[in-house]
């Protein structure tokens, strides 16, 4: 069993309620932080922990906190990004659903460190019942003196508000989230100014992911240095992985980032192997926007070394032969899955979710979907593959926010690693409707895992 | 104006607005539109959007542009139960195509349509964050997960029973 810092108590009966959470040692860390630690000391511990943002970008959380402007007389805000919408990702939902008080404790410590008296949880609208769980937990925490005015006699006031979105992937991007929280369309803002200077209502704002904010509790409890000893290199602490697709045991797992990808997929403690005894074909290891990897490059790097479940190892080889940790949405495809069709569903997703602000993304995502649809329906031509490549290249890097890149990468990686499957669809128009390319990529000499 | 929040809904409206600073009441727009949709039959006619604009003291266009941007707001009438079935990658590799086809057959409607008796609407949606419990759909405020044909039949029967029991 690996180290568990976040989900350690997830299976304790009744842990969702305040009484049980408190009995299990909950809020003791918040008490220590508010009563015994200075704001600077808390920020310092978070910096020392090496915690990287768990939403997908992996930006060091302590550094993000240190950017917040503190102009005299202007309120500051902490916003918790619970707009979890990246296909393959459902870890924040799990955390909020089963351990709402852990998030609230993390929010309380973080709000204190950042000087946020009104903190918002922006939760995706579809998680309506999770929003209710959080609201109930906030009522309990307030009743017990952990939220409200003059918390623990420190003079610090903090209210936490749950704000439901209404169905828009783009609102997971922090400036779009802020626009949405202001009651507008989720159109990302041009940066700079960064939210740390001018964010919500043009006030200094920090936006952090749910898992990042929950991790503040073990960091303050253990101390930043101790936390940083868990994991490896710049992948410190633990990471939640939401595993899905064609595996025996889909679910949310906490790993300490020293486990190999192969062990994660095949061990009974985690994914439990490929469902139905089938063979592994490909994997999208960090949420739908990160590059898909064929089985051979997933388990071993291009240099032939074992690949591990951490930030550095998953991105080893760059986009040529590697991928990314991203949000931790781990999607497994078995031998019966069609790469063209999978890529089509992702292209459709990004077309649907593009806010429409930037032409390369608004137009490009639609074109990519149409071309992929054409190939999938057996009407593709060989030139379509190059056309797709050309379109994705013209989207990447040419938009205000990273949605453009997120839409381009899956298409690029699918062509990069599975061009033969696209060609097969075009050369076998009839056949491609009824059968499937399967594992033909793995003709000798490439090793196909059992 | 015929559409109006009742007392209980108005209390909820005031609670939502109170979360934001003085003068920033527009921030309550998304939550208030959810309340309006729930209160006015599951969708947002122009009249409802104009009413919300008046309550929040903003221009109607500010409400329209938001209501048309977010996928959870229905701008047309929907059935009593809306089946929002996920079709994105992880659900697709877990067999959502078969589930979608089965629901279409059982309800005899296409995606985007409502059954003649006004009971069910079928909508195809993008990732709802339940990839580990695929295939799945959202019905109202809850998720129905690990769908199979048998489960779909049971769910349809369950909602039909609910309506019979209410009448």
Question: How confident is the prediction for chain B on average, in pLDDT?
Answer: 96
Q: Is A208 helix (H, G, I), strand (E, B) or coil?
A: strand
Categorize the per-residue pLDDT at A430 as very low, low, confident or very high, splitting at 50, 70 and 90. confident
Domain check: are A200 and A348 in the same one? no
- Whether A343 shows a pLDDT value over 70: the answer reads yes
Categorize the per-residue pLDDT at A225 as very low, low, confident or very high, splitting at 50, 70 and 90. very high
What pLDDT does residue B49 have? 98
What pLDDT does residue A442 have? 72
Q: Say how far apart CA A446 and CA A279 lie, in whole Å.
A: 14
Beta strands A329-334 and B81-86 are unpaired
Categorize the per-residue pLDDT at A449 as very low, low, confident or very high, splitting at 50, 70 and 90. very low
By the 8 A CB rule, do A252 and A11 touch?
no
Choose among A181, A244, A333: nearest Cβ to B131: A244
Instruction: Return the residue of B nearest to A249 by Cα.
Output: B132
Average pLDDT on B136-154 reads 97
What pLDDT does residue A432 have? 81
Neighbours of A216 (CB within 10 A): 29
- The answer to whether residue A36 is domain-embedded is yes
Instruction: Return the residue of A nearest to B37 by Cα.
Output: A166
If you count residue pairs, one on A and one on B, with CB atoms under 8 Å apart, how many are there?
A: 149
Domain check: are A89 and A183 in the same one? yes
**Which residues does chain B have within 8 Å of residue A244's beta carbon, measured at their own beta carbons?**
90, 94, 131-132, 134
**Which residues does chain A have within 8 Å of residue B90's beta carbon, measured at their own beta carbons?**
87-88, 244-245, 331
Is residue B48 less than 8 Å (CB to CB) from chain A? no
- The answer to whether residue A379 is domain-embedded is yes
By the 8 A CB rule, do A97 and A7 touch?
no
Question: How confident is the prediction for chain A on average, in pLDDT?
Answer: 95
What pLDDT does residue A422 have? 96
Between positions 327 and 366 of A, the ones with CB within 8 A of B are 329, 331, 333-334, 337, 341-342, 345-346, 348-349, 352-353, 355
Task: Dig out the tokens for A421 from the structure.
Answer: 């499957």
Is residue B134 less than 8 Å (CB to CB) from chain A? yes
Between positions 181 and 200 of A, the ones with CB within 8 A of B are 181-186
Domain B81-166 class in CATH: alpha beta
- Work out the percent of chain A whose per-residue pLDDT is above 70: 98
Instruction: Return the residue of B nearest to A340 by Cα.
Output: B89
Domain check: are A343 and A289 in the same one? no
- Whether A29 shows a pLDDT value over 70: the answer reads yes
Contact A353 B70 (CB under 8 A): no
* Residue range A229-261, pLDDT digits in tens: 998 999 999 999 999 999 999 999 999 999 999
Domain check: are A187 and A243 in the same one? no
- Whether A448 shows a pLDDT value over 50: the answer reads no
Contact B127 A288 (CB under 8 A): yes
Q: Say how far apart CA B142 and CA B134 lie, in whole Å.
A: 14
- The answer to whether residue A180 is domain-embedded is yes
Task: Label residues B110-126 b or e (16+ Cβ within 10 Å = b).
Answer: eeeebeeeeebbbbbbb
Task: Dig out the tokens for A44 from the structure.
Answer: 């310092």
- Whether A367 shows a pLDDT value over 80: the answer reads yes
Q: Is A50 helix (H, G, I), strand (E, B) or coil?
A: coil
- The answer to whether residue A140 is domain-embedded is yes
| φ, ψ of residue B139 in degrees (nearest 5) | -130, 110
Domain count, chain A: 3
Is residue B73 less than 8 Å (CB to CB) from chain A? yes
Q: Where do the H-state alpha helices sit in A115-260?
A: 128-143, 174-181, 210-222, 224-229
Contact A129 B142 (CB under 8 A): yes
Instruction: Return the residue of B nearest to A201 by Cα.
Output: B24
Return the closest-CA partner of residue A375 out of A385, A386, A387.
A385
Contact A183 B127 (CB under 8 A): no
Q: Say how far apart CA A233 and CA A257 lie, in whole Å.
A: 10
ipTM more than 0.90?
Answer: yes
Contact A288 B88 (CB under 8 A): yes
Choose among A129, A183, A245: nearest Cβ to B93: A245
* Residue range B39-55, pLDDT digits in tens: 999 999 999 999 999 99
* A252 sits in which H/E element: strand A251-255
Mutate to test the interface with B, among A167, A199, A330, A331 (most CBs of B within 10 A): A167
Q: Say how far apart CA A95 and CA A240 lie, in whole Å.
A: 9
* Residue range A174-224, pLDDT digits in tens: 999 999 999 999 999 999 999 999 999 999 999 999 999 999 999 999 999
Domain check: are A248 and A215 in the same one? no
CATH number, position A406: 1.20.1440.230
Instruction: Return the residue of A nearest to B29 by Cα.
Output: A183
- Work out the percent of chain B whose per-residue pLDDT is above 90: 96
| DSSP E strand boundaries for A37-173 | 77-82, 118-123, 159-164
- The answer to whether residue A9 is domain-embedded is no
- Whether A20 shows a pLDDT value over 50: the answer reads yes
Contact A166 B131 (CB under 8 A): no
What pLDDT does residue A1 have? 56
Pick the last residue of a domain from A229, A264, A282. Answer: A229
A236–chain B nearest CA distance, Å: 25
Return the closest-CA partner of residue A14 out of A100, A123, A103, A141.
A100
By the 8 A CB rule, do A260 and A309 touch?
yes
B113–chain A nearest CA distance, Å: 19
Q: What residue numbers bound the domain in which A249 lies?
A: 235-334
Per the document, the length of chain B is 167
pTM, two decimals, is 0.96
A92–chain B nearest CA distance, Å: 9
**Which residues does chain B have within 8 Å of residue A242's beta carbon, measured at their own beta carbons?**
131-132
- Whether A447 shows a pLDDT value over 60: the answer reads no
What's the farthest any 2 CA atoms get from each other in chain B? Answer: 52
Domain check: are A102 and A203 in the same one? yes
Domain check: are A130 and A198 in the same one? yes
Domain map (residue ranges) of chain B: 7-67, 81-166
Domain check: are A369 and A323 in the same one? no
- Whether B1 shows a pLDDT value over 60: the answer reads no
**Which residues does chain A have within 8 Å of residue B138's beta carbon, measured at their own beta carbons?**
126
Higher local confidence (pLDDT), A152 or A432: A152
Domain check: are A168 and A123 in the same one? yes
Contact A166 B30 (CB under 8 A): yes
| Structural Rg of chain B based on CA atoms | 18
Pick the last residue of a domain from A310, A334, A358. Answer: A334
| φ, ψ of residue A405 in degrees (nearest 5) | -65, -40
- The answer to whether residue A444 is domain-embedded is no
Is residue B126 less than 8 Å (CB to CB) from chain A? yes
Domain check: are A72 and A147 in the same one? yes
Is residue A436 less than 8 Å (CB to CB) from chain B? no
- Whether A68 shows a pLDDT value over 70: the answer reads yes
* Residue range A254-307, pLDDT digits in tens: 999 999 999 999 999 999 999 999 999 999 999 999 999 999 999 999 999 999
DSSP for chain B? ------HHHHHHHHHHHTTS-TT-GGGGHHHHHHHHHHHTTTS--HHHHHHHHHHHT--HHHHHHHHTTSTTS-SS---SEEEEEE-SHHHHHTTHHHHHHHHHHHHT--TT-B-TTS-EEEEEE---S-GGG-S-EEETTEEE-S--HHHHHHHHHHHHHHHHHH-
Neighbours of B101 (CB within 10 A): 11
Domain check: are A94 and A163 in the same one? yes
Contact A166 B73 (CB under 8 A): yes
Categorize the per-residue pLDDT at A67 as very low, low, confident or very high, splitting at 50, 70 and 90. very high
Return the closest-CA partner of residue A125 out of B62, B84, B111.
B84
By the 8 A CB rule, do A100 and A217 touch?
no
Q: Which residues pair with A121 in a beta bridge?
A: A80, A162
Contact B129 A126 (CB under 8 A): yes
Mutate to test the interface with B, among A73, A126, A240 (most CBs of B within 10 A): A126
CA angle at B135 for the pair B133 and B141, rounded to the nearest 5°: 75
- The answer to whether residue A3 is domain-embedded is no
* Residue range B61-114, pLDDT digits in tens: 999 999 999 999 999 999 999 999 999 999 999 999 999 999 999 999 999 999
CATH number, position A279: 3.10.20.600
Pick the last residue of a domain from A229, A245, A277. Answer: A229
Per the document, the length of chain A is 450
What pLDDT does residue A443 have? 58
Task: Dig out the tokens for A41 from the structure.
Answer: 């000391």
Average pLDDT on A343-369 reads 97
Q: What DSSP designation does A307 have?
A: P
**Which residues does chain B have within 8 Å of residue A353's beta carbon, measured at their own beta carbons?**
126
* Residue range A86-125, pLDDT digits in tens: 999 999 999 999 999 999 999 999 999 999 999 999 999 9
Domain check: are A27 and A148 in the same one? yes
What is the dihedral angle through the alpha carbons of A130, A135, A140, A143, rounded to the nearest 10 degrees? Answer: 170
Task: Dig out the tokens for A230 from the structure.
Answer: 């868990």
Neighbours of A249 (CB within 10 A): 15
- The answer to whether residue A4 is domain-embedded is no
A133–chain B nearest CA distance, Å: 13
């Amino acid at each position: 069993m690996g180290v568990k810092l976040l989900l350690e108590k997830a299976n304790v009966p009744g842990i969702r309620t305040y009484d049980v959470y408190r009995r299990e040692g909950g809020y003791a860390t918040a008490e220590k932080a508010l009563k015994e630690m200075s704001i600077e000391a808390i920020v310092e511990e978070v910096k020392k922990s090496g915690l990287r943002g768990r939403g997908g970008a992996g930006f060091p959380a302590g550094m993000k906190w240190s950017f917040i402007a503190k102009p005299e007389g202007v309120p500051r805000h902490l916003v918790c990004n619970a707009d979890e919408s990246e296909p393959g990702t459902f870890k924040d939902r799990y955390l909020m659903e089963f351990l709402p008080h852990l998030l609230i404790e993390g929010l309380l410590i973080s709000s204190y460190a950042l000087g946020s008296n009104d903190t918002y949880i922006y939760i995706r609208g579809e998680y309506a019942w999770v929003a209710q769980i959080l609201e109930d937990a906030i009522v309990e925490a307030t009743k017990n003196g952990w939220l409200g005015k003059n918390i623990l006699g420190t003079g610090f006031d903090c209210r936490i508000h749950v704000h439901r979105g209404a169905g828009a992937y783009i609102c997971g991007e922090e400036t779009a989230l802020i626009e949405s929280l202001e009651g507008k369309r989720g159109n990302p803002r041009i940066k700079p100014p960064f939210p740390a200077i001018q964010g919500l209502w043009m006030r200094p704002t920090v936006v952090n992911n749910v898992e990042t904010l929950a991790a503040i509790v073990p960091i303050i409890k253990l101390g930043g240095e101790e936390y940083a000893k868990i994991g490896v290199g710049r992948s410190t602490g633990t990471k939640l992985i939401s595993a899905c697709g064609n595996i025996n045991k889909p679910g949310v797992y906490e790993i300490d980032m020293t486990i190999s990808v192969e062990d994660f997929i095949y061990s009974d403690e985690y994914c439990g192997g490929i469902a139905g005894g089938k063979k592994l074909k490909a994997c999208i290891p960090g949420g739908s926007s990160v590059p898909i990897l064929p089985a051979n490059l997933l388990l071993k790097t291009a240099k032939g070394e074992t690949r591990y479940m951490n930030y550095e190892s998953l991105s080893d080889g760059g986009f040529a032969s590697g991928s990314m940790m991203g949000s931790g949405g781990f999607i497994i495809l078995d031998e019966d899955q069609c790469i063209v069709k999978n890529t089509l569903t992702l292209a459709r997703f990004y077309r649907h979710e593009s806010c429409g602000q930037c032409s390369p993304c608004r137009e490009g995502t639609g074109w990519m979907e149409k071309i992929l649809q054409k190939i999938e329906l057996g009407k593709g031509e060989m030139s379509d593959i190059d056309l797709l490549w050309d379109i994705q290249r013209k989207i990447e890097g040419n938009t205000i926010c990273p949605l453009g890149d997120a839409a381009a990468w899956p298409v690029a990686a699918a062509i990069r690693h599975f061009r033969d499957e696209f060609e097969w669809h075009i050369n076998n128009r009839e056949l491609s409707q009824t059968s499937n390319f399967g594992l033909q990529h793995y003709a000798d000499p490439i090793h196909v895992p059992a | 104006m015929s559409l109006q929040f009742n007392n209980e809904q108005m209390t909820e409206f005031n609670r939502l607005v109170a979360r934001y600073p003085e003068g920033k009441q527009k921030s309550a727009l998304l939550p208030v539109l959810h309340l309006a949709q729930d209160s006015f039959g599951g969708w947002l006619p122009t009249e409802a959007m104009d009413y919300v604009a008046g309550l929040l003291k903003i221009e109607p266009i500010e409400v329209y542009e938001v209501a048309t941007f977010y996928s959870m707001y229905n701008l047309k009438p929907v059935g009593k139960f809306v089946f929002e079935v996920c079709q994105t990658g992880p659900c697709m590799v877990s067999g959502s195509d078969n589930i979608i086809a089965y629901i279409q057959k059982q309800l005899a409607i296409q995606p985007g349509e409502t059954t003649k008796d006004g009971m069910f609407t079928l909508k195809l949606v993008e990732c709802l964050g339940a990839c580990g419990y695929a295939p799945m759909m959202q019905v109202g405020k809850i998720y129905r997960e690990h769908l199979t044909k048998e489960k779909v039949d049971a769910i349809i029967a369950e909602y039909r029973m609910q309506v019979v029991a209410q009448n």
